[in-house]
Structure 1
Amino acid sequence: MKKIKTAFIFKPSNPYMSKTAWATTYYHFFMNALNRHPELEMAYFPAEKQFDASKLRDKFDIILLWENHPWGSPDELSGIQNLDIPVICRINDADDAKPKGKIPYHEKYKIDHYFGYIPEPFFHKHYPKSFKYKEIFYGVEPKLYENLTPYSKRIKERILCSGAAGRTDLLYRLKDIRRGTA
């Protein structure tokens, strides 16, 4: 079986592409899960400001982008307009497409197709109907859940209150009573 040669271009300063970020879903998806896929041959291209995409010509079947915004992808992908390689892009929060100016990157990065975990109607509520989108499920990395201690054995005492708690000083209690929030 011929593998699909995939060039993944991302900005290395993006904290979500680190194993040490508070949320590692994207890191594990791009760095682990895609490598396990039997039909993909992954190559990684970290670049901060500018990436010369013309060097990918005749070497890759697809270009994969972290996001359609320079927060997660390089600011400039020079030469991408002259390539005949399809560009596939992950989207993040669809509702910030207009406020963060992500839609112009469709042309700038020459994006052919988008993917993400959000439902298609929500994507097309914020992006033009002509943009192609596929919903995929990702984010559960099996090896992170091996050999876990059961919850009942980790917690030795009961948790009586979880979540945010207000200040208990008398002055703050009186203010809460006065506001009607106590």
Structure 2
Amino acid sequence: LLSVLRSMNTCTYFCRDLRENYCRNPDGDSRPWCFTTDPSVPWEYCSLKRYCINGNGKDYRGTVAKTGNGRTCQEWSSQSPHSHKYFTPLTHPRAGLDKNYCRNPDGDVNGLWCFTTDPEKIWEYCEVPRCSTSPPVPAPGRQCLSGRGEDYRGKISVTESGNTCQHWSAQSPHRHARTPENYPCK
């Protein structure tokens, strides 16, 4: 099968599409990444965040940190003022429980929520804009992030800290073996 895929000029579902300097996940890491053009930063994870919600918002990764009533959200890793040992970055590592951002780690049908910094109010729902389009159907060449991003084919080429991605076929400023030639179907 590999020899057949290598002989094809078109990319199939199994190809990782190491074109240009777009963020990709060629080796099954936790999410898409790239080599950077910053000589002091060899590689970094890419910034592929959702800033609007579809459905219950379980895949939302934006930075809203206030509830619908204007309360500030408590950091997910903090146990003060409200103790909550079940919803932490350690217990839900794939739920995006970063800082104090609104999330939906339990799939609540009513949407995003957070613990609040108000000692009188344990948690509240957040208000985040709804996406104007429906979520994409699973298919090769997804333009948004799903799972670990192994099938992500969008054109984002900036890392989480703002570095520009190095072209996969380039060897400067960082030398590497993850080239389109070495990974024709990766």
Q: Could you state the TM-score of these two structures normalised by the residue count of structure 1?
A: 0.24
Give the structure with higher Rg (CA).
1
The alignment's TM-score, normalised by the length of structure 2, stands at 0.23
Larger helix fraction of residues: 1
* Larger RCO (alpha carbons 8 Å, 6+ apart): 2
Larger relative strand fraction? 1
